[in-house]
């Protein structure tokens, strides 16, 4: 008689995993706190959690940044209770667009931008992706884009705001403010 | 703070600002003077009015008769059998993409420019 060999799957967390978890926890905390802030218009949010993504990118590179960003979206939505809702879809598409910007930047190996310029690019990409998703999935009418100047102005303002915070934090962390593509 | 910004940052900011401003120009500028008004009534064929004419038409809607007046390149609801009179308060319309509607009566007015856009529904 042959007994099946009991296979054990061992999961060991590496130091990198712990680091991603800690940084993602920080981003999730900010994400949840921000969800409690009142907004003058649905869809307009400071996006403070993206600062964490940006700083992680500047310090540890694109791989860490995408992990932190996507974990933030998934776990944050589970905590707030919007998982798989339209809010979640928009949150995810915005995060993916921001990470794509960072990825393109890291592939090009440009050194002429600091986190400030990246913050603006990220927030514009974030908002564009969300507008396109809203048009594609929820409100397929051209009149939606009449609102785009309002949304894009908010994206630019908060992009600049977040960019200044990111510059401040990265220089305070005693790192150079120029992200390296490691 | 400012000295930490690079030339790339400044140019990104300028381009982004230009992009946002262009959105205002593209989406918030009026399309100019309209040439035609489309009158849509629920369950009836669309009527196209030429704004160069001076005309007053009666439209039979769901509740009753709405009167639409065209004068000097402008168009307005004069009378409508609804209770709120939102359509009449829209006043004179002359710009492309302007809209007035009497929802209770099922009558709407939509202004278009020189190029009348057709889609498969019109044919």
Domain count, chain A: 1
Residue B43, φ and ψ in degrees, nearest 5: 75, 10
Which tokens hold the place of B115? Answer: 């190029």
| Highest mean pLDDT of the ranges A36-40, A53-57, B117-121 | A53-57
Chain centroid to CA B31? 9
User: What is the percentage of chain B residues whose pLDDT exceeds 90?
Assistant: 21
> CB–CB of B19 and A159 under 8 A?
no
Q: How far apart are CA A118 and CA B82, in angstroms?
A: 54
Q: A147 lies in a domain?
A: yes
Beta bridge partners, B112, equal B36
Q: How far apart are CA A105 and CA A70, in angstroms?
A: 18
Q: A10 lies in a domain?
A: no
Q: How far apart are CA A70 and CA A99, in angstroms?
A: 9
Which pLDDT tens digit goes with each residue over A100-152? 999 999 988 766 788 999 999 999 999 999 999 999 998 888 778 888 999 99
Taking residue A31's Cβ as centre, other Cβ atoms within 10 Å add up to 24
In a mutagenesis test of the B interface, which of A109, A123, A152, A161 is the best target, namely the one with the most B β-carbons within 10 Å? A152
Q: A3 lies in a domain?
A: no
ipTM score for this prediction: 0.82
Q: Give residue A61's domain range.
A: 15-172
In a mutagenesis test of the B interface, which of A113, A118, A145, A168 is the best target, namely the one with the most B β-carbons within 10 Å? A113
CATH code where residue A140 lies: 1.10.1760
Task: Give the CA count within 13 Å in the CB-facing half-sphere of A89.
Answer: 11
Closest CA to A73 of A126, A109, A125, A132: A126
Q: A168 lies in a domain?
A: yes
């Amino acid at each position: 008689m042959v007994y099946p060999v009991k296979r054990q799957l061992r999961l060991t967390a590496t130091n990198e995993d712990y680091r991603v978890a800690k940084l993602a926890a920080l981003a999730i905390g900010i994400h949840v706190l921000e969800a409690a802030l009142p907004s003058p218009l649905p869809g307009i949010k400071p996006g403070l959690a993206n600062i964490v993504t940006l700083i992680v990118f500047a310090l540890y590179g694109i791989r860490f940044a995408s992990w932190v960003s996507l974990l933030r979206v998934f776990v944050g939505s589970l905590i707030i209770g919007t998982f798989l809702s339209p809010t979640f879809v928009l949150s995810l598409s915005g995060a993916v667009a921001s990470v794509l910007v960072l990825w393109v930047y890291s592939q090009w190996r440009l050194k002429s931008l600091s986190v400030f310029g990246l913050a603006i690019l990220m927030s514009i990409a974030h908002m564009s992706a969300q507008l396109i998703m809203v048009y594609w999935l929820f409100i397929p009418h051209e009149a939606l884009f009449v609102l785009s100047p309002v949304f894009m102005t908010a994206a630019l303002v908060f992009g600049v705001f977040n960019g200044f915070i990111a510059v401040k934090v990265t220089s305070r962390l005693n790192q150079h403010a120029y992200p390296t593509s490691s | 703070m400012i000295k930490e910004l690079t030339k790339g940052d400044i140019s990104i900011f300028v381009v982004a600002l230009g992009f946002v401003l262009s959105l205002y120009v593209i989406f918030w500028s009026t399309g100019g003077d309209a040439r035609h008004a489309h009158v849509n009534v629920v369950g009836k064929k669309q009527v196209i009015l030429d704004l160069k004419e001076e005309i007053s038409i009666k439209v039979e809607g769901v509740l009753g008769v709405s009167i639409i007046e065209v004068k000097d390149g402008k168009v307005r609801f004069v009378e409508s059998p609804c209770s709120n009179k939102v359509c009449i308060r829209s006043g004179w319309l002359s710009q492309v993409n302007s809209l007035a509607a009497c929802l209770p009566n099922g009558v709407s007015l939509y202004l278009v420019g020189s190029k009348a856009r057709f889609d498969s529904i019109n044919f």
